Amino acid sequence: MIYWDIFWAFFISNLLGYGGGPSTIPLIQNEVVSNYEWMSLSEFGDVLAIANALPGPIATKMAGFIGFELGGVLGAAVALIATILPSALAVIVLFKFVDLFKDSPRVKLMTKSVQPIIAVLLAVMAYQFFITAFQNSGVLHLLLLTLASYLTLYKFKVHPALVIGCALFYGGVFLS
Amino acid sequence: MRSLFTKLGRQSGYKERAIRLGTYRDLAVGFARTGVTGYGGGPSTIPLIEYEAVEKYKWVSEEEFGEILALANTLPGPIATKMAAYIGYKVKGSIGAVVAILTHILPSLVAMIGLLGFIYSFRHSPIVSGMVQGVTPVIGFMLAEMAYRFFEKGRKGLGVSRMLLFSIISLVFTEMLGLHPGILIGAFLISAFFIAARKEKAAASKKVIMQRKENSL
């Protein structure tokens, strides 16, 4: 039952991702690429690239698109519900009791303790993308594009959509 | 807010309905605007949502916004949709929550399905495969930067040595032993819960001892 699988994949990745949408990316990748093998890592990379180039929350764009690819509109709806509904309900219900655990050291330590895992998962993904780029386009292009990304995104804070647009253009001209 | 509606409602049922629909429209416009102008994922849209919800439409006070954000941060999953859910629910109940979430996520999702569908229809063209190759290092860098931010957050929260130790444990279990990251996250969460509980207890008993000392003095 594909819809059940879609629901479960996105439910699990969002239940375990602390720190907002971006922290769920490696968990979504783990389900979609490694666990269910719905797409290859490079396809997942394309989805992530376009999601990054467009505005708005990333986790819902990923869920909506992957759900749509797998099961049409219903698939997208199932993926979105699994992504949004549990935590949306939780925030509405728990807000009444917010004072009970807002400053609770338990909750704070729990949130903190997950960060190393997310960091490692993201770093491993980054490594995989660099390796793929190295194998497909060689070390020269890899270094050039990575350096350009560092300068534009990190140093000069250029708009990510612009950087991705330029990288697509560069690839279309020099790597085809 | 509600008393205002009933007051107006007594004057004219039509007016009341118009105002109610107007509030839905405000929710839709406010959250659609934050959904299509915030770049870099949900967390980057938070200041935009704050502007709409606190300054512009005054759905919640600044204080309440801060409290919702704190709660949203302690819960798993995407943050922007949690904010939309709570604010929408507060303003207009369940339907308000649905309106706020959908207007926040749908425009960019539709754009994404359209754009990727367009690119995929040229999947076998060498130009498209070149474009994909061109963007791969950029995505690698973006992920590396995100990883770096989480390392920094962890280092500030846990200290360098514990951060490194936990990272190495994560690396060994998820990458070398192939453990599902969920199991590791579960284990970390449970141990953090008990460690914090023990610390609380220790702090409480320390307090008691201190109080006894004060009393004896």
Taking only the tens place, the pLDDT of each residue in A8-63 is 999 999 888 876 777 888 999 999 998 999 999 888 988 888 888 787 788 899 99
**Residue numbers in B near A172 (CB within 8 A):** 127-128, 130-131, 134
Contact A123 B144 (CB under 8 A): yes
The string of DSSP letters for A63-106 reads HHHHHHHHHHHHHHHHHHHHHHHHHHHHHHHHGGGHHHHTT-HH
Is residue B155 in a domain?
Answer: no
All residue ranges of chain B with pLDDT < 50 are 1-2, 4-12
Confidence class for position A175, pLDDT limits 50, 70, 90? confident
Q: What is the pLDDT of residue A140?
A: 93
* pLDDT value for B9: 43
Q: Does some domain include residue B11?
A: yes
Query: Does residue B95 belong to the interface with chain A, where contact is any CB pair within 8 Å?
Result: no
pLDDT exceeds cutoff 70 at A117: yes
Residue-level pLDDT at A74: 95
Q: What was the ipTM of the complex prediction? A: 0.77
Instruction: Note the pLDDT of residue B204.
Output: 80
Nearest to A24 by CA among A39, A34, A33, A11: A11
Token pair 């000069």: residue:
A156
> Which pair of structure tokens corresponds to residue B193?
């819960």
CB atoms within 10 A of CB B107: 18
Residues B87 and B60: beta-carbon distance below 8 Å = yes
Collect all residues of chain A within an 8 Å Cβ-Cβ radius of residue B43: 20-22
Alpha-carbon distance A105 to nearest alpha carbon in chain B (angstroms): 6
Q: B122 phi and psi, to 5 degrees?
A: -110, 30
Question: Within an 8 Å CB–CB cutoff, is residue A74 touching chain B?
Answer: no
Q: Which residue has the tokens 């008993």?
A: B205
The CA–CA distances, whole Å, from A87 to A112, A176, B79 equal: 18, 43, 9
Our count of domains for chain B comes to 1
Establish if B85 belongs to a structural domain: yes
pLDDT, residue A98, reads 63
User: For residue A101, is pLDDT > 80?
Assistant: no
Instruction: Give a yes or no: residue B113 inside a domain.
Output: yes
Q: Find, among B153, B184, B195, the residue nearest to A30 by Cα.
A: B184
Strands (E), chain A: none
Residues 100-159 of A with CB under 8 A from B: 101-102, 104-127, 129-130, 132-133, 136-137, 141-142, 145-146, 149-150, 153-154, 159
Q: Please report the pLDDT score of residue A170 as a whole number.
A: 92
**Which candidate in B45, B132, B155 is best for mutational testing of the A interface (most A CBs within 10 A)?**
B132
The residue in chain A having the minimum alpha-carbon distance to the alpha carbon of residue B134 is: A171
The 10 Å CB-count burial string (b at 16+, else e) for A9-33 is bbbbbbbbbbbbbbbbbbbbbbbbb
Tokens (6 digits) for A92: 């509405």
| Angle at CA of residue B4, ends B1 and B10, nearest 5° | 145
Report CA Rg, chain A: 18
CA distances from A62 to A2, A10, A24, A40, B66 (A): 17, 10, 10, 14, 27
CA-to-CA distance for A22 and B31, rounded, in angstroms? 20
Measured between beta carbons, the chain A residues lying within 8 angstroms of B197 are 106
Cβ separation B142–A153 shorter than 8 A = yes
Q: Do A119 and B132 touch (CB under 8 A)?
A: no
Task: Give domain status of residue B91, yes or no.
Answer: yes
Average pLDDT over residues A99-104: 65
For the entire predicted model, the pTM comes to 0.74
- Containing domain of residue B6, as a range? 1-121
Among the partner-chain residues A14, A115, A120, the one whose CB lies closest to the CB of B171 is A120
Which of B84, B85, B133 has the CB atom closest to A136's CB atom? Answer: B133
Reported as a single tens digit per residue, the pLDDT across A132-168 is 889 888 899 999 999 999 999 888 888 777 888 898 8
Residues of chain A contacting residue B131, judged by C-beta atoms under 8 Å apart: 168-169, 171-172, 175-176
Task: Compute CA distances A65 → A26, A70, B80, whole Å.
Answer: 16, 9, 18
- Buried-state track B117-147, b at ≥16 Cβ within 10 A, e below 16: eebeeeeeeeebbbbbbbbbbbbbbbbbebb
**A61–B193 CB contact, under 8 Å:** no
Across A114-142, average pLDDT: 87
Contact (CB, 8 A) for B130 and A176: yes
